[in-house]
A and B are shown apart, each in its own frame.
Chain A
Amino acid sequence: MYTQALDQLSKEHEHTPQIDEGELNARFQQRIDNEERIEPKDWMPDAYRLTLIRQISQHAHSEVVGMLPEGNWITRAPTLKRKAILIAKVQDEGGHGAYLYSAAETLGVSREHLIGQLLAGSAKYSSIFNYPTLTWADVGAIGWLVDGAAIMNQIPLCRCSYGPYARAMVRICKEESFHQRQGYEIMITLARGTPEQKRMAQEALNRWWWPALMMFGPSDADSKHSAQSMRWKIKRFSNDELRQKFVDFTVPQAEYLGLTIPDPDLRWDEETQHYRFGEINWTEFQEVLKGNGPCNRDRMAARRRAHEEGRWVREAAQAYAEKQRKRAADNSLKVEVVS
């Protein structure tokens, strides 16, 4: 998505319009309020650009790190069918990361720089991927709950004010639905299986329920970026609104499975027509974000190892391409000499 070239062009033809920053900001907000989409070369406030780079790159990192907990189970999937499905899902996650890095690059930041931040440990990614996948049922619970929560977060992003991000999200949302459904199907199979299989499903639900609720981020009162992101229409619904919607959708799905949501305070509220749920352990959330979750160090170590182990492939590809270019240049020289 037109990154580098267009930036160069706009510098050559710099117009430096004689309009002050306040006026530009007002016009920008007007465009947002009119539901216009902002495209890469359009004027935008620095803070808008930086907010998007932070959000899109964190999102991309989450997709990439998100391959790890499930990747652990590819060699141990119970059937060939499940293995093929899981490989496809993990490949999708890598693809989602790539779409999102593409979108981030349109804001004038290089992919290499963003990946460098992830590998250096200075970039954040979703807290959810720092939890372990102890049994096959966790793969089901991740698809059902983690991808389910991701869909809830991502559908409104398809209408995000920044065009390239919104377009990447449309593509991602189409693919996420398969992820969620394959996960729920794993849960159905286990829930209808032997008592031991059903227990596995229940334990996976117990492990993933609360971390899934934390995926929506801090409560509105404590969310420092929310208000501005809503004004810029990067965000369309508050963290708490989306979390509530997720609970309302998911509780009946758990009931269908005959599983119990691990929350003694959960109850249907006739008056509001919503499920009320218990207090989230925000201390745990903050600790996991800070790097003290059960798997933070493992995930980063695995990511760095993958990057290092792929180095020779990248170098070989580069060397081969250079050799081909040189050979093509030599050949065209020979042709010139002959003619």
Chain B
Amino acid sequence: MSDAREWPLYEIFIRSRGGLDHKHVGSVHAVDARMAIQHARDLYTRRQEGVSIWAVKSSDIVASDPNDADVLFEPARDKIYRHPTFYNIPPEVKTL
């Protein structure tokens, strides 16, 4: 009962309204990018959830490895001086 081959997977990103980022919502199988957009429209925007759709082949996404999370993200942890709240400014100084 198996079909010739499984259609490639596309990751779907939706912009919910003008001014906002596209956000990952899920995935669809499709023969090509155009069909991925059509499927995404039927699947993810039945209630006006979007004004724009991106479809990206899942196999084209490169992601960081969770095992590298410490190496990648730990160095930012002790650099609290990168945040404005690190600095003590007297309360009488305004608009700073």
Contact = CB atoms under 8 A, between A and B. Distances in A.
B46 A6 contact: no
A107 to B, nearest CB: 13
A1 B66 contact: no
B31 A1 contact: no
B64 to A, nearest CB: 9
A43 B66 contact: yes
Contacts of A116: 1-2
Nearest to A314: B3
A22 to B, nearest CB: 18
Given A112-B2, A324-B32, A42 B66 contact: yes
Interface stretch (A7-15, A179-187, A218-226): A7-15
Contacts of A15: 65, 67
Residue with the highest number of chain B CB atoms closer than 10 Å, among A102, A120, A168, A171: A102
Interface residues of A, number: 44
Query: Chain A binding site: helix, strand, loop or mixed by DSSP?
Result: helix
B40 to A, nearest CB: 10
A311 interface: yes
Interface residues of B, number: 30
A285 interface: no
Nearest to B26: A102
Given A102-B27, A321-B31, A119 B63 contact: no
Given A2-B58, A98-B43, A311 B65 contact: no
B96 interface: no
Contacts of B47: 175
A92 B46 CA distance: 9
Contacts of A95: 42-43, 46
28 contacts: A2-B63, A4-B58, A5-B61, A5-B62, A6-B61, A8-B59, A9-B65, A41-B65, A41-B66, A42-B66, A43-B66, A88-B46, A91-B46, A95-B46, A98-B43, A102-B28, A105-B9, A105-B27, A111-B6, A112-B6, A116-B1, A116-B2, A314-B3, A317-B31, A317-B35, A318-B7, A321-B31, A325-B32
Given A3-B27, A5-B61, 13 more contacts: A1-B24, A1-B27, A10-B65, A17-B67, A95-B42, A95-B46, A102-B27, A116-B1, A171-B26, A311-B3, A317-B31, A321-B35, A324-B32
